[in-house]
Amino acid sequence: MNKARILPSADLDDGVVIGDDSSVWHLAQVRGGAEVGKNVVVGRGAYIGPGVHVGDNCKIQNYALVYEPSYLEDGVFIGPAAVLTNDTFPRAINPDGSLKSAHDWEPVGVTLKQGASVGARAVCVAPVTIGRWATVAAGAVVTKDVPDYALVAGVPARRIKWVGRSGFPLESSGEGRWNDPRTGDQFIENNNTLTLVEDNG
């Protein structure tokens, strides 16, 4: 028996899978074929498109829009009113003036790797990948891939710091080495990528 908590005002299509201990709150909409993992929170007014995959232990906050074919790994956070787009060159009509249909364009997705976070009102413009444990600052507009452990901000978003699995900025320990003062994790930076070299978690 599924233990998910689905509020009566939520709108779930046929063919939706909701994992145990997940919650779908007021006015949220989950479209057909979407898969929502275990222990996930889908906030008020959030939208999850057809066929979207949401891993375990994710949080999708109020009024976030997760358009297909987004793919969220485990432990992903999507902040309030954040948007994951799916049309690189959007138009309502074709060049001949006719209304575009689903057959007139090909959706492209946003991929969020394990533990990644997208801040409030940020926009991720598909196709992009947000790396493991990376953070997109509130209000940022992401137009290119974000490396693991990067904190990006601005329009367009650029890396301004490195962050650990705790979400807090890393501290330099010299010679391309970084540490997370919250967890004790150690990292090595090489060619603008960060690698976890010691796991104390």
| Residue 198's pLDDT band (cuts 50, 70, 90) | low
Global pTM value = 0.93
**How many domains are there within the chain?**
2
Q: Are residues 168 and 188 in the same domain?
A: yes
- Residues 144-157, mean pLDDT to the nearest whole number: 98
- Half-sphere exposure of residue 113: CA atoms within 13 angstroms, side-chain side: 15
Q: Are residues 60 and 74 in the same domain?
A: yes
In the predicted structure, residue 4 carries a pLDDT above the cut 50: yes
Of 138, 118, 134, nearest to 59 by C-alpha is 118
Q: Are residues 194 and 154 in the same domain?
A: no
- Residues 133-148, mean pLDDT to the nearest whole number: 98
CATH number at residue 14: 2.160.10.10
Tell me which residue range forms the domain holding 187. Answer: 164-201
What is the predicted pLDDT for the residue at 105? 86
Q: Are residues 73 and 89 in the same domain?
A: yes
Q: Are residues 186 and 156 in the same domain?
A: no
Q: Are residues 150 and 171 in the same domain?
A: no
Q: Are residues 155 and 168 in the same domain?
A: no
* pLDDT, tens only, 58-116: 999 999 999 999 999 999 999 999 999 999 889 999 999 999 988 888 899 999 999 99
* pLDDT, tens only, 26-73: 999 999 999 999 999 999 999 999 999 999 999 999 999 999 999 999
What is the predicted pLDDT for the residue at 201? 46
Q: Are residues 156 and 175 in the same domain?
A: no
Q: Are residues 117 and 176 in the same domain?
A: no
What is the predicted pLDDT for the residue at 149? 98
What is the predicted pLDDT for the residue at 199? 52
**DSSP secondary structure letters along 45-105:** T-EE-TT-EE-TT-EE-TT-EE-TT-EE-TT-EE-TT-EE---SS--SB-TTSPBP-GGG-
Q: Are residues 125 and 53 in the same domain?
A: yes
- Half-sphere exposure of residue 163: CA atoms within 13 angstroms, side-chain side: 22
Q: Are residues 157 and 175 in the same domain?
A: no
